[in-house]
């Protein structure tokens, strides 16, 4: 499980999406429940995210005006939806997650091919 | 979500005092609603939407990445809090993958500077589609 985390982390650091890698790895590879995998991904992001945030802030890259505009509404919906998703049937959540993965991958493929032209 | 973390170069940016227009602010607020909903539902994927939205609003690539992290960190913390408060978890398995992910992210960040492969990108996304389909089918 440590190794799968390591693999997920490497792919994450390589810029290939974070939770989109680690959550499937944990769920499919180790039969971790979807909810546990989500929480593991969230907790794993915090130390890395925080340290990156400090560095970026020092470099003046963070535009705090934009942070508030997006963060405040995001916190509201995230609170409601995450509370709701815990009571959701796991198989439904998994299907939705699958759809989400496919969409993300397809958009990502599409963008790359557009850039080439 | 950590995909934009470890590529820090110590380049300084000018702080832009330019404020986004009202229409843009409303649009970004709506983006925020969706970002929160996606992150809340899947526990992942907030940055996928936040980064292009910020670029659309006029930020440079690196500014957009940094700003999206500033949005995602508190968002993650809050969702994790909701999960821990309301869910039922066996925390004994947590340390292994968390340590692995953190170490791996650092490692990947170093590798990032050396490779930028279109083929790898293609293979990865095809794999992601396959994994997504597996989740949809269910077994």
B6 at interface of A, judged by CB pairs closer than 8 A = yes
Nearby residues of B113 by Cβ (< 8 Å), 6 or more positions away: B7
Check residue B131 and give its pLDDT.
Answer: 87
B21 at interface of A, judged by CB pairs closer than 8 A = no
Check residue B135 and give its pLDDT.
Answer: 87
Task: Write out the two tokens for A106.
Answer: 């397809």
Helix (H, G, I), strand (E, B) or coil at B58: coil
Check residue A30 and give its pLDDT.
Answer: 83
Question: Shortest CA distance to B73 belongs to which of B105, B96, B39?
Answer: B39
User: Do B25 and A69 count as a contact with CB atoms less than 8 A apart?
Assistant: yes
B26 at interface of A, judged by CB pairs closer than 8 A = no
Check residue A109 and give its pLDDT.
Answer: 83
Alpha helix positions (H), A1-117: 2-13, 19-30, 34-58, 64-86, 90-116
User: Do A17 and B128 count as a contact with CB atoms less than 8 A apart?
Assistant: yes
Determine which of B43, B58, B109 to mutate to test the interface with A (most A C-beta atoms within 10 Å): B43
Q: Do residues B26 and A80 make contact, with C-beta atoms less than 8 angstroms apart?
A: no
Shortest Cα distance, chain A CAs vs residue B119, angstroms? 11
Token pair 């690196």 in the structure block, residue: B62
d(CA A3, CA B124): 19
Check residue B4 and give its pLDDT.
Answer: 46
Check residue A70 and give its pLDDT.
Answer: 94
pLDDT by residue for chain B (139 residues), tens only, comes to 444 444 444 344 545 555 667 888 899 999 999 999 999 998 887 778 888 899 888 888 888 888 988 999 999 999 999 999 998 888 888 888 888 888 887 777 666 555 556 777 787 788 888 888 988 987 6
Residues of chain A with pLDDT under 50: 116-117
Chain B 28-47, residues with CB within 8 Å of chain A CB atoms: 28-47
Check residue A76 and give its pLDDT.
Answer: 95
Token pair 């006029």 in the structure block, residue: B58
Check residue A108 and give its pLDDT.
Answer: 82
d(CA A3, CA B101): 9
d(CA B8, CA B71): 18
Check residue B112 and give its pLDDT.
Answer: 59
Q: Do residues A97 and B135 make contact, with C-beta atoms less than 8 angstroms apart?
A: yes
Check residue A16 and give its pLDDT.
Answer: 53
- pTM of the predicted structure, to 2 decimals: 0.81
Task: Name all contacts of A93-98 with Cβ < 8 Å and 24+ positions apart.
Answer: A93/A34, A93/B41, A94/A27, A94/A34, A94/B135, A94/B136, A94/B138, A95/B135, A95/B136, A95/B138, A96/B41, A96/B42, A97/A23, A97/A34, A97/B42, A97/B132, A97/B135, A98/B131, A98/B132, A98/B133, A98/B134, A98/B135, A98/B136, A98/B137
Check residue B95 and give its pLDDT.
Answer: 86
Question: Shortest CA distance to A11 belongs to which of B69, B125, B36?
Answer: B125
User: Do B83 and A38 count as a contact with CB atoms less than 8 A apart?
Assistant: yes
């Amino acid at each position: 499980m440590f190794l799968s985390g390591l693999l997920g982390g490497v792919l994450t650091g390589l810029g290939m999406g974070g939770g989109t890698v680690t959550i499937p790895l944990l769920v499919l590879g180790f039969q971790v429940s979807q909810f546990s995998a989500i929480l593991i991904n969230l907790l794993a992001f915090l130390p890395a995210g925080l340290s990156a945030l400090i560095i970026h802030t020092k470099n003046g890259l963070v535009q705090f005006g934009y942070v508030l505009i997006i963060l405040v509404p995001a916190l509201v919906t995230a609170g409601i939806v995450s509370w709701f998703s815990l009571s959701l049937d796991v198989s439904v959540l998994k299907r939705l997650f699958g759809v989400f993965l496919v969409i993300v991958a397809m958009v990502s493929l599409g963008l790359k091919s557009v850039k080439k032209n | 979500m950590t995909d934009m973390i470890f590529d820090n170069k110590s380049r300084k940016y000018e702080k832009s005092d330019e404020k986004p227009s009202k229409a843009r602010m409303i649009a970004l607020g709506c983006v925020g609603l969706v970002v929160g909903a996606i992150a809340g539902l899947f526990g992942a994927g907030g940055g996928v939407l936040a980064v292009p939205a910020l670029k659309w609003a006029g930020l440079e690539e690196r500014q957009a990445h940094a700003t999206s992290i500033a949005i995602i960190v508190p968002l993650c913390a809050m969702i994790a809090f909701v999960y821990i408060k309301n869910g039922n978890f066996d925390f004994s398995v947590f340390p292994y993958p968390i340590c692995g992910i953190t170490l791996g992210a650092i490692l990947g960040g170093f590798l990032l500077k050396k490779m930028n492969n279109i083929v790898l990108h293609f293979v990865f996304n095809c794999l992601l589609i396959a994994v997504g389909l597996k989740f949809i089918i269910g077994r």
